[in-house]
Amino acid sequence: MKLSLTVVFGLLTLLSAAANTKTAGKLEQYHAKFLSNPPLKLDDATYERLTATPREYTVAVLLTALEARFGCKLCRDFQPEWDVVGKSWVKGDKKGDSRLILGTLDFANGRGTFQKLMLQTAPVMMLFPPTIGPHAKRDAQAIRYDFTTGPQSAEQVNDWIIRHLPEGPRPPIYRPINYMRLFTIITTILGLVSFFSVAAPYLIPIIQNRNIWAAISLITILLFTSGHMFNHIRKVPYVAGDGKGGISYFAGGFSNQFGLETQIVAAMYGTLSFATIALALKVPRMADPKKQQIAVFVWGAVVFAMYSFLLSVFRVKNGGYPFHLPPF
């Protein structure tokens, strides 16, 4: 009886050693291919061999559909990120101490696998943990990663893979240098520097001109105080009918307005501003006293008329407004 148990134990030991040797050889074989072209390009047969049990390594497979006829934009958007993940692991773990293999199974080469897994969407990532060895897991079922929130970055996917790996190398993501983008940026910067070097004698006087900045500031203030942003936010109509076959240019109530009303109010404010500036700056500089007196009366009359019209608009907006100026 003791002899029989010894024989059985020996056979089990030999079978276990043979299985470990077989899986170790399979790992070395696929790791060598992985180093040369990461991630591995799989088909139905290589997918079955790579994920078959027993395995003493971890496999992460991206099931995707890259051909244009399948219309999977998400697959094509994520594929460059997946390639970055694969190349980062090759660069950071060349010896394969993590015992991780990354692969890609395209639908064009793996229809049988998609049907077997009953996959209706792509891309889908499957992570197969080891089934034997010191890091074997009791539940050898594949862990699935769905792209439910849209395209994922290489960093996000890499962090997800690392969370399911035992202790070992944790290579960061190495993104290749985009030399074309770098060249474009340098060329653009040099072009802008050259342009400003040539145009500086002409642009600096314009930029430093106080009158230009005053005009820009005044126009901006008039534009926004007249209700321009209100129109964009509320999507107000340009004009409206008055119910008598005519047109209403002003909407009743201070919380309503029309598009044309905003332009009329901006024109009133602009006229008042220009008249005030003329009275304060231009008229005092006039050398002829008679012309100066006429200018004072003219611009004063403009200010008076505009304020009268403005108060009449206030009464249209609110019938209880108590103030007014003739003639409006």
**pTM as predicted:** 0.56
- Three-state DSSP state, 239: coil
Whether the CB-CB separation of 269 and 226 falls below 8 Å is answered with yes
H or E stretch including 269? Answer: helix 259-277
Q: Is the pLDDT at 23 greater than 70, yes or no? A: no
**Helix segments in 52-168, DSSP class H:** 73-92, 111-117, 154-163
Smallest CA-to-CA distance from 100 within 35, 153, 42 is with 35
CB atoms within 10 A of CB 40: 21
Instruction: Establish whether the linkage from the previous residue to 39 is cis, with ω within 30° of 0.
Output: yes
Q: What is the mean pLDDT of residues 282-301?
A: 92
CB atoms within 10 A of CB 242: 10
How many residues does the structure list for the chain? 328
How far from each other are the two terminal CA atoms of the chain, in whole angstroms? 122
Angle (CA) 228-234-238 rounded to 5° is: 65
Instruction: Establish whether the linkage from the previous residue to 54 is cis, with ω within 30° of 0.
Output: yes
Give the contacts of 265 (CB within 8 A, at least 6 positions apart): 226, 227, 313
Q: For residue 320, give both structure tokens.
A: 């209880």
- Three-state DSSP state, 17: helix
Q: Could you read off the pLDDT of 262-283 as tens digits, one per residue?
A: 889 889 998 998 899 899 988 9
pLDDT of residue 101: 92
Mean pLDDT of the chain: 85
Q: Is the pLDDT at 219 greater than 70, yes or no? A: yes
Q: Could you read off the pLDDT of 156-179 as tens digits, one per residue?
A: 999 999 998 988 888 999 988 888
Distance separating alpha carbons of residues 188 and 29, to the nearest angstrom: 48
Q: Could you read off the pLDDT of 50-96 as tens digits, one per residue?
A: 998 888 899 999 999 999 998 999 999 999 999 999 999 999 988 88
pLDDT of residue 166: 84
Distance separating alpha carbons of residues 20 and 132, to the nearest angstrom: 8
Pairing of strands 124-128, 143-146: antiparallel
pLDDT of residue 24: 56
Q: Could you read off the pLDDT of 104-143 as tens digits, one per residue?
A: 999 999 999 999 999 988 899 999 999 888 888 877 789 9
- Three-state DSSP state, 327: coil
Give the contacts of 61 (CB within 8 A, at least 6 positions apart): 42, 47, 50, 51, 102, 103, 104, 105, 125, 126, 127, 128
Q: Is the pLDDT at 292 greater than 70, yes or no? A: yes
Angle (CA) 133-137-139 rounded to 5° is: 140
The model's confidence at residue 186, banded by pLDDT at 50, 70 and 90, is very high
Smallest CA-to-CA distance from 148 within 173, 165, 166, 123 is with 123
Instruction: Establish whether the linkage from the previous residue to 237 is cis, with ω within 30° of 0.
Output: no
Q: What is the mean pLDDT of residues 294-313?
A: 92
Q: Is the pLDDT at 254 greater than 80, yes or no? A: no
